[in-house]
Structure 1
Amino acid sequence: MGAHRSMKPRYAKIVGTGSCLPGQPVTNAELVRRLAERGIETSDSWIVERTGIRQRYLAEAHVGSSQLATEAARAAIAAAGIPAADIDLIIVATSTPDWVFPSTACLVQKAIGAPGGAAFDVQAVCTGFAYAMSVADSMIRTGAANRALVIGAEVFSRILDWSDRGTCVLFGDGAGAVVLAASEEPGIVASKLHADGRHENILRTAGHVSGGAITGHPFLTMDGQAVFKLAVSVLDSVARETVEAAGLTLADIDWLIPHQANVRILHATARKLGLDPDKVVVTVDRHANTSAASVPLALDVAIRDGRIWPGQNVLMEGVGGGFTWGAVLARM
């Protein structure tokens, strides 16, 4: 009989992050002015009090999700210190792709010069980044990939009804990216994903292109109270579930990066989990809600400003239309 060879554990570890925000920030004051020209009344104080948002970035008409994703990807690859050609898996989480097909991931693959590996999009709206990270983690653990580029990229400004004060002030555009690499050291230690399609009506963009025309409703609609109530509940439950799956406790979490939808949801989630508010990374004030891009954008900010460092446990979680929710726990 041949000698038995033990198999070392294989993990997916975050080795680089990057982000991209289009143009210059649009402050609440500037947005209020633009909306006033459309006959829509709001104010900086109204927006800040209800959401915590003070500014956002809005892409120009010629800028698509793939361009933002590409710039974020280049930054993440540079931070990882690897050639783009070494990337053998690209997953883009987006609800606002450039085209029906090919995927945004394929467009990014072409732009960065990394042909040959798998490339595809995932669509779980604001939970998309958690879904994409979980899929990439699984593929790396099984040996189907060695170096993965995971991106959240959105141009939500394209699907906003600018006559609806309740939604148009909430969102922004941007992209965040991470590079995951196979490692013998723990990286992504646990992830949990969920969905409940029975709640599809509370947050959706129920339109489509058919026969060269738009069918259905092409703009985002939201039942704000229903979303708030459900979001706080599932963000609490999936955080606890993921931490338990990792064999840790909430006291072991160094940083919580929730989906950046609304500062009240962020604060309510931290309270329910019993976490110190100082352990919560908050960027909604400067980025607004960038859907699938919000968590990787916040992660990149906190790594680059020195808050997050190697060895720390970072819990990232999302919640969005579908209704979807999920979390990923990473040891940096």
Structure 2
Amino acid sequence: MYLHHVAAYLPVAVVTNEHFTRLNGLASDWIIERTGIRERRKAASDENANTMAIAATRALLAEIPAFDAASIDLIVAGTYTPHDTIYTAAHAVQRELNINEIPVVSISSACSSLLNAVEIVEGYFALGKASRALVVVSEHNTAYNNEEDTMAGHLWGDGAAALLFTKEPLAPGDLHVVQVLTGGAAPMGKADEAVTLKPVDKGIVMPYGRDVFQQACTYMARITQQLLDAHQLPVAELSYLIPHQANLRISANVVKQLGLDPARAVNNIDRLGNTGCAGAAIGLAEIWSKIKAGDKIIITVFGGGYSYGAMLLEKPV
């Protein structure tokens, strides 16, 4: 399986830390020290998870004009912040593309949804049910977030990304999806209550941030090392590591455990905040033009409910 292209969409509005200083007294330096976040994007009043999914898809297709969008035969969307749980982001993208009678799937496994979506594509490809799949990840965190929550209200940002996967390469520069590994650690720690989104109650809350931090550091490093070992890939030969964009300290901890050069870690949380399952895909879009032949990339993720995963990508020589 191959990744032909990826593109991202970010809302225009920028919310700096000073907004939260004015709102509830949280100092910008305090937020930066604990999370690495300096600013984040916020969707406009007429935007939502569906519209951002469409915008990311439009951006993707605009960057690969020679590709025939009508040949897409599978759409998988991931989000835990849906605009509608019935007419999902996947359906919205299908309607935008005007491709009838193809499978459309919408999933949520918290911030690891990106890699679970890729696994779904792997399954369809393996069964011969599809050969060109669009994966879209979109989060509208600010629709659910309580900004007055001093524990987690300042963490969240909005954004989306779209990725085109094909069973066979479309161009010499397509990235080979070497392997995807995912798992769930729901029996561990405070997985059942560490991060929750209950719209009727308080929206997104994170009452057990320390437990999230510890489990994220453990499982992201573990699954990444497992992937490296499976392919006898020394960490020094890894070109980029794109971790889930939850906290800059988590990323730094994972990098340290792996013994990776920090310069090879891709981070956008300082500019975008926690963009959920879209964050790592947005990071991949941001470095896409820099990827060279022979480069090896690992995306590693961890989400609420303590789902996790890692994916190894390689650009053929």
TM-score, length-scaled by structure 2: 0.91
The number of residues matched between the two structures is: 307
The reply to whether residue 314 of structure 1 matches residue 297 of structure 2 is: yes
The reply to whether residue 62 of structure 1 matches residue 62 of structure 2 is: no
Letter aligned with residue 311 of structure 1: G
Unaligned 5+ segments in structure 1 are 1-11, 208-213
Q: CA deviation at 1:202?
A: 1.2
Q: CA deviation at 1:309?
A: 2.9
- Aligned equivalents of 2:252 and 2:218: distance in 1? 13
Q: 1:331 aligns with which of 296, 314, 317?
A: 314
Report % sequence identity: 28
Q: Check the 8 A contact 1:17/1:77 in 2, yes or no.
A: no
The reply to whether residue 230 of structure 1 matches residue 215 of structure 2 is: yes
The reply to whether residue 274 of structure 1 matches residue 259 of structure 2 is: yes
Q: 1:28 aligns with which of 17, 26, 32?
A: 17
Letter aligned with residue 181 of structure 2: K
Q: Helix, strand or coil for the counterpart of 1:200?
A: coil
Letter aligned with residue 274 of structure 1: G
Q: CA deviation at 1:136?
A: 1.3
1:153/1:310 CA distance change after superposition, 3 Å: farther
- Aligned equivalents of 1:51 and 1:317: distance in 2? 18
Q: How does 1:279-298 map to 2 (within 5 A)?
A: 279-298=264-283
Q: Helix, strand or coil for the counterpart of 2:11?
A: coil
Q: CA deviation at 1:31?
A: 4.0
- Aligned equivalents of 1:24 and 1:187: distance in 2? 35
Q: 1:188 aligns with which of 162, 174, 177?
A: 177
Higher Cα Rg: structure 1 or 2? 1
Deviations 1:24-52 (A, max 9, x none): 2222224433x2xxxx1112111111111
Q: Check the 8 A contact 2:75/2:90 in 1, yes or no.
A: yes
The reply to whether residue 115 of structure 1 matches residue 100 of structure 2 is: yes
Q: Helix, strand or coil for the counterpart of 1:167?
A: coil
- Pairwise CA RMSD of aligned residues? 1.8
Name the residue aligned to 1:253.
238
Name the residue aligned to 1:201.
193
Q: CA deviation at 1:148?
A: 0.9
Deviations 1:144-197 (A, max 9, x none): 211111111000112212221120111100001111112268711111111122
Q: Helix, strand or coil for the counterpart of 1:160?
A: coil
Q: 2:83 aligns with which of 86, 90, 98?
A: 98
Q: How does 1:15-54 map to 2 (within 5 A)?
A: 15-33=4-22, 35=23, 40-54=24-38
Letter aligned with residue 26 of structure 2: T
- Aligned equivalents of 2:274 and 2:138: distance in 1? 12
Letter aligned with residue 15 of structure 1: H
TM-score, length-scaled by structure 1: 0.87
Q: Helix, strand or coil for the counterpart of 2:13?
A: coil
Q: Helix, strand or coil for the counterpart of 2:297?
A: strand
Q: Check the 8 A contact 2:181/2:310 in 1, yes or no.
A: yes
Deviations 1:261-315 (A, max 9, x none): 11100110000001000110111111110001101101001114x2x23431110
* Larger deviation, residues 119-128 vs 135-144: 135-144
Q: Helix, strand or coil for the counterpart of 1:265?
A: helix
Q: CA deviation at 1:112?
A: 2.4
Q: CA deviation at 1:18?
A: 0.7
Q: Check the 8 A contact 1:15/1:79 in 2, yes or no.
A: no
Q: Check the 8 A contact 2:151/2:206 in 1, yes or no.
A: no
- Aligned equivalents of 1:298 and 1:148: distance in 2? 20
Q: Helix, strand or coil for the counterpart of 1:234?
A: helix
Deviations 1:175-232 (A, max 9, x none): 011111122687111111111223221111245xxxxxx4x55443341100000000
Unaligned 5+ segments in structure 2 are none
- Aligned equivalents of 1:232 and 1:158: distance in 2? 28
